[in-house]
Amino acid sequence: MGVSEMTMCEAKTSQMTQRSFLGLMTERILFALLMLLFLTRGLIPSWNHLGSDFADYYLVARLYRTGYPVERVYEWTWLQRQKDHAGIERPLVGFAPSTLTSALLVLPVSSMSPLQANRTWLVISLGLLLSSAALLKKITDLPWRRLGLIMCLAVAPLHTNFLLGQVHAVMLFLLTLAAWLYLTDRPFRAGLAVAAAAAFKIYPAFFLLFFLLRKQWRAVTGLLVGAAGAILLSIWLFGIDAFSVYLHEVLPSGLRGEIIDPYAIGWDSLNSLLRRLFIYEPELNPSPVAHVPYLCAFLRSVTYAVISVIFLWAISFKSPSRSRQKLVWATFCFLLLLLSSEPLPYHFVVLILSAALVSDCLIAEGQLGLARLVVVLYALVCIPYDRLYRFNPRGWFSLLAFPRLYSMLLLGGAFLYVLMMSEGEPLLGRLRSRSFGYAVIAFVAISAGGFAMDLLHMEGQFDNYKTRVVTTVGSAIAVDPVVTSDSVLYGSLAPTFTSRHDAYVIHRVTDNSVISCGGGGDWFHPTATMDGQTTWAEVAAVDHSRIVRFGTSDCLQNPPITEIEDGEQPSVSMDGRTLSYIREFRGRGSLFIHHLQDEPNLEHELAGPQYDVREATFSPEGEIAFSSWQHHRYHLFLVEPKSDVVAEMNDVNCSARYPAFSPDGEWLAFSCEHGGVWQIVVKNRGTGEQQLLTSANCNSIAPAWTRDSKSLIYATDCGRALGITALSRLRLMR
């Protein structure tokens, strides 16, 4: 080699060394900046305030620890009342669609004060995050700086997970542990780890399909054994009733993406985008492109079928290489997040695992450019898009409000390319294989089946729109209606879930206006005399609720007057002389009456906590019908206040709640459970004949009669989300 050639070689080596040094310094500086951002915008702020989501887990764990009936934790107003009684300083709590076992994660800290428990949970979450990094170091050949950089690039996921006190650091740890066990040829234990993750969040349960496609029978066995153990543990700890409520009422809504507000742009899912574009809802989505539910169902079924079949087909090709196994695990984790019906930023903490595994494989193969592209797309997914969620786009402008979804689709395309390229077999050859034919058949079956199921679910969902009692854009919950001679009163959740004030208030609707009454606590369950001149409501505070009397026309000027110091869910008799109410002991209700005129301040217990009373109402004759939770379902009972004789209504054969007598005394309305959803039923008190008034695959509850006994006003979540009810009107067919 000549001198000139040696000089050129040395120059090239020097340039490569310089580029390597610059790259190293850039990675270190970026890692340091991202770590500083995480500390200042995520960890430190979360240390000084109670995370809103942590409050949900903490409250349910505390209720379980103190012996409360946890089958009620998915009822919005009941859980909010318990939050107030516990003195938790958060404006709003709600537990759907979380599993009951997810509350076990914070059970060890539930005896602490809320803020102290939150801080302990933050330390645990940080420890799990570091443990996940240690496992990833074992699985990959990435140096610590690159591994730390990938983790810190999950800006929005990590920040929201810690700020809100979420549990997705647990999910990252368990799925990373499962990956390590799977890659080190311990498939049964990997299946157990996946089952443990599925006990806290449902989506890892779909790894069963992954193991079946890969013909990993020991992993299948481990997952099934672990899942069976988790189910048995849940039933043993929480009871069959709570497990049944979750399985039949909560889980189906969660899988369909009908939890909280299914039209919210913050979900970043295909499901929310298509609903936003093609399904009208008067309050939650008043300005879609058009109300075309069938088109929404068709596009949703086809797009989900295309994505799932293509990814699963690519994953199904077997290869003994460790690199290929990393890629398929990473890609399947990504697929579960992409297909999620309602993902929020903190769900993408698990994406750290996928990004690390794919980057490691590409760097090991010398494909640095492709590795950088994957990391850039991953970083785009994890950017905070909060400001985009502060506006309410209309029509086609909704397409601009889902940047994280589009970044996920681009990242998915990159993952698919890497996965297909790693197989080595030409794409044309794979398209001619028998597996591609099976994939086509699967696509047709999944899309057709999904479309048919969506159509069946949507049948009758939107019929209540034309009979809505009141429409307030952005309104979250309207429930417990009461009809007077000139107005309708109801309990309402403030239009925004981020309200810093008391979340629940009482609204009074007349022909000309809507008046809000509240303050000093959450206000629930209004009741009023027939002329509407005297009204009562429950106000929840620390340790107990009280029943107050107030004037709806001047409630903002004059403070309410306490009628009963310890009571909930008041109901006034039709003659205005007596109040019934419920008093809880560890979540189990006893029924009391309070005389307003004849014997003021005299109260009397009619049904003790053994009945676990849930709702009560007066008949025109002065009897009280109440619902009771006994023997794994709801029963209706009738009690005569003068004799204290309690008798079950044996002709009501379903699980029944929310009884309401018509003013003329001829009818009893109630809600009846059919197949995990609640429907309105009326019974003729003379003939015993029963008539089903609603039938859509959604909940219709809390009926209240109009004064002419010809119509009902009720709360329904049809076209909305589980428990997120609006008020509508039903005409009684005679």
User: Nearest-CA neighbor of 306 among 298, 295, 316?
Assistant: 298
Q: In the CATH scheme, what is the homologous superfamily, with its name and number, of domain 464-731?
A: TolB, C-terminal domain (2.120.10.30)
What does the pLDDT read at residue 443? 93
Instruction: Please state, in angstroms and as integers, the Cα–Cα distance from residue 627 to each residue in 245, 285, 618, 670, following that order.
Output: 17, 34, 12, 10
| Residue from 111, 113, 88, 85 nearest 543 by CA | 85
| Domains of the chain, residue spans | 13-456, 464-731
Structure confidence at residue 192 (pLDDT)? 97
Cα–Cα distance between 225 and 498 in angstroms, integer?
Answer: 41
Question: Does residue 379 carry a pLDDT above 60?
Answer: yes
Residue 623 reports pLDDT greater than 70: yes
CB 50 within 8 A of CB 87: no
Query: What is the C-alpha separation between 381 and 158, in angstroms, rounded?
Result: 12
CB 273 within 8 A of CB 398: yes
* Strand pairing category for 677-684 and 667-674: antiparallel
Q: Which residues contact 398 (CB under 8 A, 6 or more apart)?
A: 265, 273, 276, 277, 288, 289
- From the list 562, 552, 622, 615, the residue with the least C-alpha distance to 589 is 615
Mean pLDDT over the full length of the chain? 90
**What is the per-residue DSSP string for 167-224?**
SHHHHHHHHHHHHHHHHTT-HHHHHHHHHHHHHHSSGGGGHHHHHHHTT-HHHHHHHH
Q: What is the mean pLDDT of residues 325-332?
A: 95
For residue 522, is pLDDT > 60?
Answer: yes
Name the nearest CA neighbour of 72 among 231, 200, 242. Answer: 242
What pLDDT is stored for residue 322 in this prediction? Answer: 82
Task: Report pLDDT digits (tens) over 644-682.
Answer: 888 999 899 899 999 999 999 999 999 999 989 999 999
Q: Which of 73, 69, 82, 91 is nearest to 540 (CA)?
A: 82
* Model pLDDT, residue 414: 95
**Confidence at residue 554, expressed as pLDDT on a 0 to 100 scale:** 65
Min mean pLDDT across 16-30, 240-254, 682-696 is at 16-30
Considering the entire predicted model, what is its pTM? 0.92
